[in-house]
Amino acid sequence: MSGLPLSAATKHLRVVLPDQLSPFAQRGSTEEVEEGRAFAPKFDADGLVTCVVTDAQSGDVLMVAHMNAQALQQTIATGEACYFSRSRQSLWRKGESSGHRQRVVEMRVDCDQDAVWIKVEQEGAGACHTGRRSCFYRAVPLGKAGAVMLEFRDAEKTFDPSAVYGKTK
Q: Indicate which single residue of 4, 29, 144, 168 sits in contact with a second copy (rule: CB under 8 A).
A: 144
Q: Indicate which single residue of 76, 124, 125, 164 sits in contact with a second copy (rule: CB under 8 A).
A: 76
Beta-bridge partner residues of 67:
49
Closest CA to 70 of 108, 43, 102: 43
63 vs 91, beta carbon nearer a second copy = 63
Q: Is residue 117 near a second copy by the rule CB under 8 A?
A: yes
Total of residues contacting a second copy (CB under 8 A):
55
For 114, phi and psi rounded to 5 degrees?
-110, 10
Enumerate residues 6+ apart whose C-beta is below 8 A from 127. 53, 62, 63, 94, 100, 102, 133, 134, 135
Q: Which of residues 89-108 bind a second copy (CB under 8 A)?
A: 104, 106-108
Return the number of other C-beta atoms located less than 10 Å from residue 79's C-beta.
14
Q: Is residue 4 near a second copy by the rule CB under 8 A?
A: no
What is the x/- site pattern for a second copy, positions 33-62, by CB under 8 A?
-xxxxxx----------x-x-x----xxx-
Distance, in Å, from the CA atom of 28 to the CA atom of 161, rounded to the nearest integer, reads: 44
Distance, in Å, from the CA atom of 142 to the CA atom of 148, rounded to the nearest integer, reads: 9
Q: Indicate which single residue of 9, 13, 125, 135 sits in contact with a second copy (rule: CB under 8 A).
A: 135
8 vs 31, beta carbon nearer a second copy = 31
Q: Indicate which single residue of 6, 28, 138, 166 sits in contact with a second copy (rule: CB under 8 A).
A: 138
Q: What is the largest CA-CA distance in the chain?
A: 62
> Which residues of the chain form contacts with a second copy (CB under 8 A)?
23-25, 34-39, 50, 52, 54, 59-61, 63-64, 75-79, 104, 106-111, 115-117, 128-130, 132, 135-153
